[in-house]
Structure 1
Amino acid sequence: MRHWGTIALSFFLIGSPIICITWLISIFVLLSTSSRFYGSLVWATSATVLILVLFWLIGVLKDDQVTTLIALIAVLVIITTLGYSKYESHIEKLKIVDDQAINMRDYEPFREGTKAVSLPEPASLKIRSKLPHLDGSTALYPMYATFVQAVYKQKEYPYYGQDSEVQVNGTEDAYNRLIEGDVDLIFAPAPSKDQEAQAKAAGVELALTPIGYEAFIFFVNSRNEVQDLTLEQIQSIYAGEVTNWKQVGGVNEKIRPFQRRENSGSQTMLQKIMKEKQLMEPAKEDVNSGMGDIIKQTANYRNYKNAIGFSFLFYATEMVQEQQIHLLKINGVEANRENIRNGTYPLTAPFYAITAGSDNPKVQPFINWILSPQGQYLIEKTGYTPLNP
């Protein structure tokens, strides 16, 4: 009994510092990285060392054997860490298609060198006072920034400024701010069911004025040989019924279907085209939310060879030019401006100027001007499709 008691005491005296050090290292890892892998590796290494210590104490392993095994473990840990680090680096290099990939600052109105399109002549409407407060989808900011540049008085309108009359907070936050009365007008796709319910609960009526059209597109890695999918095949992929590219004419490889955040404009569009089919659970990724907490959120599209993603045509154009992705034809029809205009591309959707009972007298004249030839000209020149091309 004394023998086992001595072993237990020795194991406690040796193991306690190892566990404490492991705990401290794991806390540091959680604070410095968003990956669960390294924390798991730390604890797995610690557990292995503790087992070796126990075997050494009971005489199963000799001193030189323990030393050799610990050295071997150290080598394996280093190789594993380097290998996983290389894998992470590869993943990070995969192009992400995300609405934040466009630098909004490049389109700020009146900024020197702005990409915001200008009219060839003075605007027929000028607003110099009681400027309507604007917000909207990041997909549409390059467009409504041109409206501001044409009509509003010249000054700085930082897109991120808390006091700025012209902001871009994304579809979800833009709807929230409109419903709460923080802005007069937003530019966005049609609201989701949640956003409609939110407005109804707040006693707010959303007034949607269509001002142009955009194509909702699906894309894959440029190396993917699949060029065309039917709408039914898209629905089946995102319902989890079609899981391999071989089922739709591609190689024998599992399909990675990416989705977007709930209530984002593109995710709402996906939900609408699914119709009666149940949308599968989206892929998740670990994200460090601060203070060592790691949460799961919907993964951004990464350009894996077997991935499929979706967006609006304006976003994907640059990546197509860089030959990183190619757009899929839907029902045999290519997503381009001509097919949006003639109505043959099946996933064309209007986007809107949306109000919720603003008492600003300048809002309706502004919307009327957007529908005028000058406003429609700016929509087309920015890269979208006007109502009456």
Structure 2
Amino acid sequence: MKNKKAILIFIIGVVLTLISIPYMFIKLLMFTWSTTQQWLSWVLFATVMICYVWVWRNIIHFIHFQKLLVWKKQLIYIVCILLCGGTVVSFQLYHAWEHRFETISTEVDLEEYKPFASDRIAKLDEASSLQIKAPLPVLDGATALYPIYSAFAQAIYPQDTYSPYDSKVICATTPYAYENLLNKTSDIIFVGGPSEKQKKMFSDAGEELVYTPIGKEGFVFFVNKDNPVTSLTSQQIKDIYSGKITNWKEVGGKDSEIRAFQRPEGSGSQSAMLRFMGNTPLKEPITEDVPEGMGGIISQTADYQNRENAIGYSFRFYASEMASNDKIRLLEIDGVAPTKENIQNGTYPSSSFYAITLKSNTNEKVKQILEWIVSNQGQELVEKTGYVSESFSNK
């Protein structure tokens, strides 16, 4: 009877071990991919191995002696598991505490602005004067401008399902939109002006960019809503982002170090920031280490974390409509609020955005689209979306 019981326990142990090993291996692999502290993976691996050894020591001991290990030996394994497992858990809790502030990233649900599938995009009151038939030019661009060219597509393209990720109307974001234009997988991109690096990329490839201005947008700076500072001068912002001003008390705020967040190189908002800074150099951005699969780690520009001492920047429509957040507050610049009216009258700093194509692109449909965009109907959609149209800003 005892032998049967021992055999049964052995079989159960083998089955559970064979079942759990693949599961634990996958979990360990996922943990390794998701952490920037690779030493923790080894600690977690050691914890799992100690657990297996502990269980099998008890199984083997029971088979031979019909009882489990004595409590002193059990205690050794339990202490080792608690130390190793506690180290992993403690570090994860500390990491969560360090990142307890809300992170505001560039992610928005683009499906909410998809052509022919959303009530959030602008529509004309009458049929468009231009109708484009297949084959359709590929439209691409910045996230902040997707609502505009999505509205363009809905007005002039045939009704269809246009995925923002794989269709004739995509949103690859500014850096990749420029790459797609260079690789000729996109025909027209809707973006802010290119960075010097992006200009050089086209120049080196022997390609010339053709800019069609279609509107203006306010370039805004924002802080935590509990930050008492409500307005900064242009010079104060430049001094903050060049490192000359480092504490909020220097601009009328609390005695707290300023955490000035930036955007990734090549993004539309970062290029706009460089233009805002002019000849004043930007200080090094705040970075964070992120996992890059198979144990790799890369350092990248950190997303804005809504700490009380933080400051960040973006475009007005994106910050206030697409990724609206009631925990941040847009700052006045030189005493002027970032409203559409103030952008229209020129009292608030604005940045132009364009429909850009290659001079070498001879597609007649591209020319027709560009001409329609600057027509009354195209500019009407720009205004209805919430931006300042180029025709209005030229009045």
- TM-score by length of structure 2 reads 0.78
Report SS of the residue matched to 2:214.
strand
Indicate the residue corresponding to 2:268 in structure 1: 265
Shift of 1:206: 0.4
Shift of 1:72: 9.3
Indicate the residue corresponding to 1:145 in structure 2: 150
Shift of 1:365: 1.4
Indicate the residue corresponding to 2:356 in structure 1: 354
Stretches of structure 2 that go unaligned for 5 or more consecutive residues are 1-24, 48-74
Contact in 1 for aligned 2:38/2:295 (Cα 8 Å): no
Indicate the residue corresponding to 2:162 in structure 1: 157
Contact in 2 for aligned 1:319/1:325 (Cα 8 Å): no
Shift of 1:180: 2.2
Distance 1:291 1:217, change over 3 A: same
Indicate the residue corresponding to 2:207 in structure 1: 204
Distance 1:70 1:330, change over 3 A: farther
Match of 1:120 among 100, 120, 125: 125
Indicate the residue corresponding to 1:134 in structure 2: 139
Distance 1:277 1:73, change over 3 A: farther
Indicate the residue corresponding to 2:32 in structure 1: 31
Q: Which amino acid aligns with 2:114?
A: E
Match of 1:105 among 101, 111, 117: 111
Report SS of the residue matched to 2:353.
strand
Shift of 1:280: 0.9
Q: Which amino acid aligns with 2:40?
A: G
Shift of 1:323: 2.3
Q: Distance in 2 between matches of 1:221 and 1:257?
A: 12
Contact in 1 for aligned 2:121/2:150 (Cα 8 Å): yes
Q: Distance in 2 between matches of 1:34 and 1:114?
A: 40
Q: Distance in 1 between matches of 2:32 and 2:42?
A: 15
Shift of 1:35: 3.5
Report SS of the residue matched to 1:140.
helix
Indicate the residue corresponding to 2:218 in structure 1: 215
Q: Distance in 2 between matches of 1:260 and 1:152?
A: 33
Say whether 1:241 aligns with 2:248: no
Say whether 1:193 aligns with 2:196: yes
Report SS of the residue matched to 1:295.
strand
Distance 1:195 1:387, change over 3 A: same
Q: Deviations over 1:126-169 (max 9, x none)?
A: 111331111111110111000000100111111111xx211111
Report SS of the residue matched to 1:380.
helix
Match of 2:374 among 371, 376, 385: 371
Report SS of the residue matched to 2:336.
coil
Contact in 1 for aligned 2:144/2:322 (Cα 8 Å): no
Shift of 1:248: 1.0
Indicate the residue corresponding to 1:65 in structure 2: none
Match of 1:282 among 273, 280, 285: 285
Q: Deviations over 1:188-216 (max 9, x none)?
A: 00011011111111111101111001011
Q: What are the equivalent positions in structure 2 for 1:72-111 lying under 5 Å apart?
A: 84-90=91-97, 94-99=101-106, 101-111=107-117
What is the aligned residue count?
A: 341
Q: Distance in 1 between matches of 2:301 and 2:250?
A: 26
Indicate the residue corresponding to 2:297 in structure 1: 294
Report SS of the residue matched to 2:290.
strand
Match of 1:384 among 363, 382, 387: 387
Q: Distance in 1 between matches of 2:244 and 2:76?
A: 48
Indicate the residue corresponding to 1:178 in structure 2: 181
Shift of 1:185: 0.8
Indicate the residue corresponding to 1:17 in structure 2: none
Q: Distance in 1 between matches of 2:249 and 2:389?
A: 38
Q: Distance in 1 between matches of 2:258 and 2:157?
A: 47
Shift of 1:86: 4.1
Q: Which amino acid aligns with 1:160?
A: Y
Indicate the residue corresponding to 1:8 in structure 2: none
Report SS of the residue matched to 1:296.
strand
Contact in 2 for aligned 1:132/1:184 (Cα 8 Å): yes
Give the stretch that moved more between structures: 317-326 or 260-269.
317-326
Distance 1:185 1:233, change over 3 A: same
Q: Distance in 1 between matches of 2:335 and 2:192?
A: 25
Q: Which amino acid aligns with 1:260?
A: R
Aligned residues: percent identity?
43
Give the stretch that moved more between structures: 371-380 or 145-154.
371-380
Contact in 1 for aligned 2:318/2:324 (Cα 8 Å): no
Q: Distance in 2 between matches of 1:73 and 1:367?
A: 69
Distance 1:74 1:225, change over 3 A: farther
Contact in 2 for aligned 1:108/1:114 (Cα 8 Å): no
Q: Deviations over 1:82-137 (max 9, x none)?
A: 565445445656333332x21111111112x4522221211111111331111111
Distance 1:171 1:259, change over 3 A: same
Report SS of the residue matched to 2:352.
strand
- TM-score by length of structure 1 reads 0.79
